[in-house]
Structure 1
Amino acid sequence: MEFCEPSLFSFGIIADVQYADIDDESNFKQTRKRYYRNSLKLLQNAIDAWIVEKVKPSFILQLGDIIDAFNKTHDASQSALDTVLRECERGPPMHFVWGNHEFYNFSRDTLLSSALNSKCHSGHLLDNHDFYAYHFSPAPKFRFVLIDSYDMAIIGHDESSAKYQHSLKYLKNHNSNEDLNCPPALSGLELRFAKFNGGFSQDQLRWLDEVLTKADEMQEKVTIASHLPVHPLATEPMSLAWNYPELLSLLQAHRSVVCYMAGHDHEGGYHRDETTGIHHLTLEGVVETPPDSQAYGTVYVYEDRMVVKGNGRMRDREMMYPDRLAG
């Protein structure tokens, strides 16, 4: 895909690096190989490419699971994180989303005090709440919002906390299996009710509603980033957020929203909401990308559209803004 006109700005996108210094293994469903060591090389290659782009991306969105859970098993969580962060520091500023593998390796308190807390370390707007979410504006009339899809979850929260107890009750209302990592059904949307997923608290939904209401009033174009997808046609059911219908309805109610980006489903996915025109883009996972390929993209932002220049498994896309923005 060739670009004949300069963009207003650009940014990089990448997800599910899941680096670990261990041998390759098959994934959870035994359908694809995971290249744990090579994922670091693919991250290095992506950053090298961003550094030498003619117009350097303004920032990078890293959509969660930057290291793998196996690091915890090998007592290598911090060393693995240090390894990937050394690479990340070479490139444009990076905004980190937290996924399930972040919580397999670290407590929420540890993450809050780490370099993965880009809410704290990036110097952008800080919001006083107990979930990991924030927003920033890289250019006039454009806003990016990072939200916490494990705000309601049983990973990452202390078992004595009210949020853990509420989340456990919510999950058990939908999943009666002794092993909550085992989905409650063999097919269908019920597959999402598993321990490795999570959702959005009512407090976070109210906060997001307020952010988007202001963006509507300011006639901004908003891109939302999280780890878990929220549209069933942009991912497999097992990768959806628990209470995705609530989040999806909220997005549909605000004309400022143009795109929702997520990771988690390593095969990737895409759907444009027929009613609102919102683009739902699920990124292909680096860890399941063969050594001779790649899985990252650069997004070029224009007045009327965003254009994804994909690499390797990630395809090019032109995403026109919804007509309702003019309403």
Structure 2
Amino acid sequence: MPIGLLADIQYADQEDTFTEGRCQRYREAPGKLQQAVKAFVAQEPQLSCVLTLGDIINGRHATQQEDIQDLDLVLELLQPLAAAGVPMHHTFGNHCLSLPRDMMLRRLGMPASFYAVDIEPGWRLLVLDTTEMSGHSGYPKDSKLGEEAAAYQEAHPLSEQEPHMHGWNGGIGSDQMRWLRQQLQRADADGVNVICSCHHQLGPGAARATHMAWNHKSILEVILGGACVKLVLSGHDHMGGYACIQGKHFVTLEALLEAPSGANAFATLDLLPKAIIVTGHGSCRSRQLAI
């Protein structure tokens, strides 16, 4: 059964903006999302789930109530998936945390900010939270994660050598890193394949250096040690990208937010015994990945 993929819907009730010559079409996002959901619901065979890769809203409005209204609209547009019996799995992005973390967990129906779920026979999804160690995490400065983030930033200041240390990025803390190791060991023992999802890319070359997770090198080392990992999916770098590292595939999905007017950006994923097929729609690239 295929899996639906969406990245960086990033809806906001605001005028378009332009970044690096690219247009962010905020008010077009709901119409494009509605089209993507309609395609997902009509998919044959029925999708096993839909996975979002972060930044479901843009946030940053003058008032929290405006951000909540944006989220309400996005969740309303996603509702036909639930009505059709298609589960949704969400990934936290940096813009998601314009609203309180606890609120987003509750509204998105997430069991936690990082979690594991079996999505098809022989396949397990590990959703990582690369926002938890960051300046926008929502955790108090005197919390364990707040202190880890501050210490990491102090030890790794933004520089030409570490261009990923921008404030719009983030990483995972020590507890989540320990959880990831345990999950990969369990998956290897269970003989299942693993897909990891995270908002910030972990595989160098699959996204620009300025858009990688803070501690992507340490996370990558853990992932490369897990024979079970076949694919890492991310968003964040709106132009998309791809890299293959030691036989593992790293895909950055193109942003729905920046799909051209009259077009779209979403994908489906087919998990085959010897390959993963990414079927892109609109500005999302299609890929055939051998496993």
Structure-2-length-normalised TM-score: 0.94
CA distance, structure 1, for counterparts of residue 142 and residue 174 of structure 2: 20
Matched, 1:107 2:79: no
Structure 1 residue matching 2:149: 3-state secondary structure: helix
CA distance, structure 1, for counterparts of residue 283 and residue 24 of structure 2: 14
For 1:142, the aligned partner's letter is: W
Q: Identify the residue that residue 180 of structure 1 maps to in structure 2.
A: none
Correspondences of 1:22-41 after superposition (within 5 Å): 22-27=14-19, 30-41=20-31
The verdict on how the C-alpha distance between 1:265 and 1:72 changes in structure 2, with shifts beyond 3 A counting, is farther
Q: More deviation in 74-83 or 37-46?
A: 74-83
- In the alignment, structure 1 segments of 5+ residues that lack a partner are 1-8, 121-131, 176-183, 322-327
Q: Identify the residue that residue 307 of structure 1 maps to in structure 2.
A: 277
Q: Identify the residue that residue 229 of structure 1 maps to in structure 2.
A: 201
Whose Rg is larger? Answer: 1
Does the CA contact (< 8 Å) of 2:148 and 2:173 recur in 1? no
The verdict on how the C-alpha distance between 1:309 and 1:222 changes in structure 2, with shifts beyond 3 A counting, is same
Correspondences of 1:175-214 after superposition (within 5 Å): 175=157, 184-185=158-159, 188=160, 190-214=162-186
Structure-1-length-normalised TM-score: 0.84
What is the deviation of 1:145? 0.7
CA distance, structure 2, for counterparts of residue 135 and residue 205 of structure 1: 14
What is the deviation of 1:75? 4.1
Matched, 1:268 2:240: yes
Q: How many residues align?
A: 286
- Percent identity of paired positions between Structure 1 and Structure 2: 31
- CA RMSD in angstroms comes to 1.5
CA distance, structure 2, for counterparts of residue 71 and residue 296 of structure 1: 26
What is the deviation of 1:39? 1.0
For 2:145, the aligned partner's letter is: K
What is the deviation of 1:31? 2.3
For 1:165, the aligned partner's letter is: E
Q: Identify the residue that residue 161 of structure 1 maps to in structure 2.
A: 143
Does the CA contact (< 8 Å) of 2:249 and 2:289 recur in 1? yes
Matched, 1:63 2:57: no
Deviations 1:138-185 (A, max 9, x none): 22211111011012112122234232133123213323xxxxxxxx34
- Which one of 271, 283, 289 corresponds to residue 259 of structure 2? 289
- In the alignment, structure 2 segments of 5+ residues that lack a partner are none
Does the CA contact (< 8 Å) of 1:171 and 1:194 recur in 2? no
